[in-house]
Chain A
Amino acid sequence: MALLRSRGGLSLTNPVLASYVVPVHPHPLLVPEQNEGWQRLRDAFDEARQQISDSGADLIIIYSTTWPSIIGHQIQADPNPTWTLVDQDFHDLGSMDYSFRIDAEFAEAWNKANHARGLQSRTVAYNGFPIDVGSVVALKLLNPDNAIPAVIVSSNVYANRAETTVLAKSCLDVLKSTGKKAVAVTAMSMSNRMFTEFIDAADDKIHSLKDDEWNRKVLEFLEEGRLEDVAQLSRTIHQQIRVQKVVTFKPMWWLSAMNDNRNDLTGRVLAYEALHGAGGAVVHLDPASNGMGDKEYDEDDVEVYHGERNVLDAEGSENTPETKHVDDNGPALWDPAEGKDAVNTDSAPKPVGLYPHARRVGDLLYLSGVGPRQPGTNAIPGGPIRDANGEPLEYDIKAQTRAVVENIARILEEAGSSMEKVVDVTSFLVDMDRDFAGYNEVWAETLGHYGPTRTTLAIRALPTPIAVEMKVIAKI
């Protein structure tokens, strides 16, 4: 398994190796030779294909705007969907035979993770299921020999930003728990206003100057790596350059959340051209920090979806998230202790006693014990180790360990330190026999990469229903 590259901020443990925006129309696949711009898009697809092939990714994840869904999100789980697709509009350009390799196991895990975070979703695995044109174009051009398995998720027509963001976080949950590295792809148009009449291929251009100007503005943001800014402008972008149909400019919400809502990615526009008037762009977003990028806007983050979904039952409980909170399964939470040299942050979970998240002493930083609980929700990635009655539960030690490291990274960042400056770590496991291997694997991918000293102890219990906690000393 490849080590994660060193990156800035909280993305240290993010398993997304690269992200792409790609257009949905079939012209670059079927008839690139008919228009120079379509050929440039095809060339950009080819360049992206080579980058993906070289990335070492275990998985290609596609969020497609041409697969609308109503009952929550749908995830393709047929291991080998095979059919012939003909575009509803551009049927005269030809047929698209496809046979894809889908990571059905990942799809099922993602679906389960969605439910754990309060989302409505389901997998689909049916012979003859119509894979949408955006996904077919993307997979045939980005992964033509199926060298990398793929997963496809629909665009829920009723999903808002919170739901779409949580969809990405549950995907990241599964990536982290499985240790897989992925490439994230949004199949989408920029401006999606096509000419409503038939045109000669040679006459293709962006539908209007306004659409073109907005497209270029959005692409400028992306080239500067300001993905979260684009995500937070998505409603405005939709209003300005999108046909007012049900699937909006929401893929940017998903893609930004897949990248930890960052604004310091390294972006590159590989091509931008017209596709029957719509704006088609191939964009590469590398998670390597460009060293820039404070957020221009700051919408609330969301970890668990609490939207109204029990429309069939007034008092329904079928969608209660499986993720347990420690509020009803553990000690009371405290506000972090303030005081001279104390370091506290809202982006780390609240303490279970009167103590700060960390304390500065000279040029050293001493962190209080850090667990995997999530700030705000207190959800435990990978699940709690016992229920409120003390009955043991199944849990994922790797997901818990990754969450611990992410919490550590947040506290270090607040103090002006970073993962590279960690000197010494003491780890506590409640079940050494069961958990050491998984914990050790995540360690090697993350903190271990930087070489701090480490001591691992087996203990009887921790105050909350978690399996792992770490005590960290770092330089500032």
Chain B
Amino acid sequence: MAKGSIVAGCLAPHPPHLVYAENPPQNEPTSEGGWEQLRWGYERLRESLSKIDHDVLVILSPHWQTYVGTHFLGLPHFEGLSVDPIFPNLFRYSYNLDIDVELSKAIHDKAADAGLAVKMMENPDFRVDYGTITTGHMVNPAFDKPLVVISSNRSRHYYSVEVMQEMMMELGRVTRDAILESGKKAVVLASNSLSHRHFTTESDVPEDMSKEHITSHAMHLWDMRIIDYMRTGQAQRIIDEMPEFTEQAIAESDGGGLTWLLSTLTVPTYPAILHGYGTIIGTGNAIVEWPCYAHEEV
């Protein structure tokens, strides 16, 4: 079997507003657009990924929150209706997606061997979280490639950002090993935003962009700092500053996705491509691609 590879790693945030603004047939609510800077960023990411041969998308979503270990979707197919419990006015999406159970199980088994608490999710009634669906849609709206979906272990809430980092670094390492052994070409995606302080009100027209901006200057500075590290190949500094970033920017990196992503990429030292940055109800969101195919991976 040929050796597998990670062909690209992406920071691919999941606010449902982006799907809402696209008006895809799968989503019931309709909009007049909005958040174009981010949606055009996703267009650029899709264009970039379309040029890279890949077999599977591996997503870690902060909105499948598990407190007892890390879980993996473990059935070959899921379909249903996903309604965002926080923004049900924006996101009521009929999903239909396939899972690469073989790769999921391989990552699961390696994680178990590494001492992590893991479980396969094999209940057919399970509703896939809207973070996974949003990221999945924005990257590949046809859902014509199988997914591996990994839950967000909330160890940060139990212990500390440092413990979360340690666990997610290990999970990233075994994810990478499993992909390389699988013979498959994978795109790995962390479905999280950056600074994560929301507005607590919503304008009458949710897509009214005259109301959209970062919640505070401090949040902007943190977002730009992290993005700058990404653009200049300083992923290790992101890891080093993750505790402060997570605390001070209330960052969604608390879900472990960003750390896991950087670990799967062996903490890259090459520049990432910033496809877009924008705010969504005040939170900072960046669409970033690490083009592994152009570096050591392939």
Q: Is B119 in the interface zone, CB < 8 Å from A?
A: yes
Q: Is A221 in the interface zone, CB < 8 Å from B?
A: no
Contacts of A69 in B (CB 8 A): 85-86
A174 to chain B, nearest CB (A): 22
Q: Is A390 in the interface zone, CB < 8 Å from B?
A: no
Q: Is A259 in the interface zone, CB < 8 Å from B?
A: no
Please provide the chain B residues from 14 to 41 with a CB less than 8 Å away from any CB of chain A in the complex: none
Interface centre among B64, B119, B158 (most CB of A within 10 A): B158
Contacts of B183 in A (CB 8 A): none
Please provide the chain A residues from 303 to 325 with a CB less than 8 Å away from any CB of chain B in the complex: 309-313, 318-319
Tally chain A residues at the interface, Cβ within 8 Å.
Answer: 44
Q: Which one of A95, A132, A158 lies within 8 Å of B123 (CB-CB)?
A: A95
Q: How far is the CA of A68 from the CA of B63 in the complex (A)?
A: 12
Please provide the chain B residues from 76 to 94 with a CB less than 8 Å away from any CB of chain A in the complex: 81-83, 85-89, 92
Q: How far is the CA of A86 from the CA of B64 in the complex (A)?
A: 12
Contacts of A243 in B (CB 8 A): 67, 154, 157-158
Q: Is A120 in the interface zone, CB < 8 Å from B?
A: yes
B190 to chain A, nearest CB (A): 19
A97 (CB) vs chain B CBs: closest residue: B125
Would B69 and A198 count as touching, CB distance under 8 A? yes
Please provide the chain B residues from 110 to 145 with a CB less than 8 Å away from any CB of chain A in the complex: 117, 119, 121-123, 125-127, 129
Residues of B within 8 A of A (CB): 64-69, 71, 81-83, 85-89, 92, 117, 119, 121-123, 125-127, 129, 151, 153-155, 157-158, 198-203, 211, 215, 281-282
Q: List 11 extra interface pairs beyond A196-B155, A311-B200, A313-B211, CB under 8 A.
A: A70-B198, A71-B199, A86-B126, A86-B127, A88-B66, A88-B151, A89-B66, A91-B71, A196-B69, A198-B117, A245-B154
Please name 23 pairs of A and B residues whose Cβ atoms are closer than 8 Å in the assembled complex, sorted by A.
A67-B85, A70-B86, A72-B201, A86-B127, A88-B71, A89-B68, A95-B123, A124-B88, A127-B92, A129-B85, A130-B83, A132-B85, A193-B158, A196-B67, A196-B117, A196-B153, A197-B69, A244-B157, A309-B201, A311-B200, A312-B211, A318-B201, A319-B201
Contacts of A365 in B (CB 8 A): none
Q: How far is the CA of A243 from the CA of B160 in the complex (A)?
A: 11
Would B201 and A128 count as touching, CB distance under 8 A? no
Contacts of B66 in A (CB 8 A): 88-89
Contacts of B282 in A (CB 8 A): 311
Q: Which one of B67, B83, B121, B202 lies within 8 Å of A91 (CB-CB)?
A: B121
Contacts of B69 in A (CB 8 A): 196-198
Contacts of A132 in B (CB 8 A): 85
Q: How far is the CA of A193 from the CA of B68 in the complex (A)?
A: 10
Would A129 and B88 count as touching, CB distance under 8 A? yes
B14 to chain A, nearest CB (A): 14
Q: How far is the CA of A128 from the CA of B83 in the complex (A)?
A: 6
Q: Is A195 in the interface zone, CB < 8 Å from B?
A: yes
A129-B88, A196-B155, A312-B201 known; A86 vs B83 contact (CB < 8 Å) = no
Contacts of B65 in A (CB 8 A): 88
Would B123 and A91 count as touching, CB distance under 8 A? yes
B93 (CB) vs chain A CBs: closest residue: A128
Please provide the chain A residues from 36 to 72 with a CB less than 8 Å away from any CB of chain B in the complex: 67-72
